[in-house]
Amino acid sequence: MDIEVMKRQFLEYTEIERGRAVKTIENYDHYLTVFFSHAQIKDTKDITEEKIREFRLWLNRQPGTGKDSMKRKTQNYYLIALRAFLKFLRKRDIEGLSPEKIELAKVPDRSLDLITSTELGRLIHSASGTDERLLRDRAIMELLFSTGLRVSELCALNSDIDLSRDELSVRGKGDKVRVVFISEEAREAIRAYLKSRKDMEEALFVNVPLQRKVDSKTTPTRLTPRSIERLIKTYAAKAGITKKVTPHVLRHSFATDLLSNGADIRSVQQLLGHASINTTQIYTHVTDSQLREVHKRFHGKSKV
């Protein structure tokens, strides 16, 4: 089967039937195109273990950041796209290489950027005040920690949020809807912010001029993920936190707070909106202190 024809059908299938995001489709297209070009694939039967092995060697020798070669995590993106393509061929009963033949490269365990509970408190309280901008930024940080939302999910929220309830439906990755829960602190912060607003914009969080002019006709616009990243960075510096702090760090804090207080990992997976439990496993390090206490209390008691 002509490889370009099958690639187009695969991308259409992934977008329409699998419901993947447009960005994902673009990435798959890029990864497959690079492989087909390098390995000189013209037909589906041209995909062999030997060509994949040669491609992996080539990827591993490509430059990455600095003096290092391409990261293995990045190399795996190409292999994941190729494996998905081979699964599609098998689903269409087209003879070809088995997707199980492709093994992903081992990558180091992901490290987490974390802040302490004391630092988290200083971060949130650094946006104290009655000014609209401060009220907005306090609400943003309270909501991020209360719900574990991704910054893109937070930016998509609208001002018609129902604050009489302690739960909220959000649409996350893969267009999947999940329920998150709002703490009383977050609800009060959002109420105070909305009360201070004078505009009628649909977005929950909008930009606020440093000095609002009386005759200004500038229409507020929805905050972007990048603008929220910048404001979190500013408040981290104001709070005297030298670590890198991003909206995703607050998502990490949300997850580790739940697990360290006894929540089960499956529940945390659902609250975070992770498709795979493997993604949530990165947070299990928070139980290390509990395991250390168990070891201290029970190990070696029978030794004379």
Q: Which of 4, 174, 14 is nearest to 88 (CA)?
A: 14
Distance in Å from the first CA to the final CA of the chain: 73
Between CA 114 and CA 97 the distance in angstroms is: 42
Active site residue 297: no
71, 90, 133, 173: the catalytic one is 173
Active site residue 150: yes
178, 222, 248, 285: the catalytic one is 248
Cβ burial of 228 (10 Å; 0-12, 13-18, 19+) is buried
Between CA 27 and CA 25 the distance in angstroms is: 5
Active site residue 299: no
CB 41 within 8 A of CB 31: no
CB 15 within 8 A of CB 25: yes
CB 78 within 8 A of CB 59: yes
CA 110 to centroid of chain Cα atoms: 13
Q: Which of 186, 110, 190, 122 is nearest to 148 (CA)?
A: 186
Active site residue 266: no
Active site residue 197: no
Question: Residues, the chain, total?
Answer: 304
CB 82 within 8 A of CB 31: yes
Between CA 186 and CA 145 the distance in angstroms is: 9
Active site residue 274: yes
20, 83, 136, 251: the catalytic one is 251
7, 20, 150, 252: the catalytic one is 150
20, 136, 187, 274: the catalytic one is 274
Q: Which residues participate in catalysis according to the annotation?
A: 150, 173, 248, 251, 274, 283
